Amino acid sequence: MIIRHHLSDPLLIAYAAGNLPEAFGLVAATHISMCDDCRARLGAFEAVGGALVETEAVALSPGSLEATLARLGLPEARKPVAKRSILPTPLTDYVGGDLAAVKWKPLGMGVRQAILPTGTGATARLLHIPAGQAVPDHGHRGTELTLVLRGAFRDATDRFGPGDLEIASEDLEHTPVAEAGEDCICLAATDAPLRFKSLMPRLLQPLFRI
């Protein structure tokens, strides 16, 4: 898998700092599971966090070491790494199983979605777009992250294949089209509702929480 579109430095720093909304964190964790480059970059940003930890010490109250020694639990054994499924592990945790366990809901024109349960600040969903199908033309009020898990899509900016992440902000308006040949499955997260151009998707927006 050759990945050409990666997490940006700001997204990785915010993820390393633990300051991304959960839905964006899920996209980041899933991309990193597929991408060595971003895994290495995350490690480097976490090392900066390690250096910051070294800089500021505040004395603990007396007896805190003894209190901690008294509460030490049994060391946990290392869990064997789960067998690779179609969905990377961070996603199987949210789906509650592999791709077959996804509870798809129709969005119209053959497009299906499954909203994943995440905390406030942003929403995450899996999208299933039939080969050759277009997603209605839309703009963005905030940030939209779209990670391709299977198949590929194209928009005016580029082609996005498995592992590729498109970061769309307010200045991008696009009509993603799934490539012919294979259905496209994506993980998408937004921190603000999308802006659809035509009336029909706009009317349906509240219903589909998109």
Partner 1 sequence: MAQDFFDPIAIFARKLSMLLDLAPVSRPYGPVPKPLDRKRSVRVLHGMGQARVSDTANETDWAALMVAVRDRQDKAAFAALFQHFAPRVKGFLMKSGTEAGIAEECAQEVMATLWTKAQLYDPARASVATWVFTIARNRRIDVARKARRPEPEALDWGPDSEPDQAEVYETAQETARLTAALSDLPEKQRALIQRAFYGELSHSEIAAETGLPLGTIKSRIRLALDRLRQKMT
- Residues found near partner 1 in the complex (CB under 8 A): 8-11, 13-14, 16-20, 22, 24-26, 28-30, 32-33, 36-37, 39-61, 64-65, 67-69, 71-79, 81-82, 88-90, 93-94, 118-120, 143
CB of 68 to partner 1, least distance (A): 5
Of the pair 109, 192, the CB lying nearest partner 1 is at 192
Give how far Cα 49 sits from Cα of 6, 35, 45, Å: 21, 21, 7
Give how far Cα 134 sits from Cα of 60, 129, 170, 204, Å: 59, 8, 20, 17
How far apart, in whole angstroms, are the C-alpha atoms of residue 110 and residue 113? 10
CB of 167 to partner 1, least distance (A): 10
Of the pair 120, 199, the CB lying nearest partner 1 is at 120
Of the pair 114, 131, the CB lying nearest partner 1 is at 114
CB of 204 to partner 1, least distance (A): 28
Tokens of 24: 């964006």
Residue 2 burial by Cβ neighbours in a 10 Å radius (0-12, 13-18, 19+): exposed
Side chain identity at 158, as an amino acid letter?
D
Q: Taking a C-beta distance cutoff of 8 angstroms, is the pair 190, 123 a contact?
A: yes
CB of 33 to partner 1, least distance (A): 4
Of the pair 45, 208, the CB lying nearest partner 1 is at 45
Of the pair 192, 203, the CB lying nearest partner 1 is at 192
CB of 21 to partner 1, least distance (A): 8
Tokens of 59: 């004395």
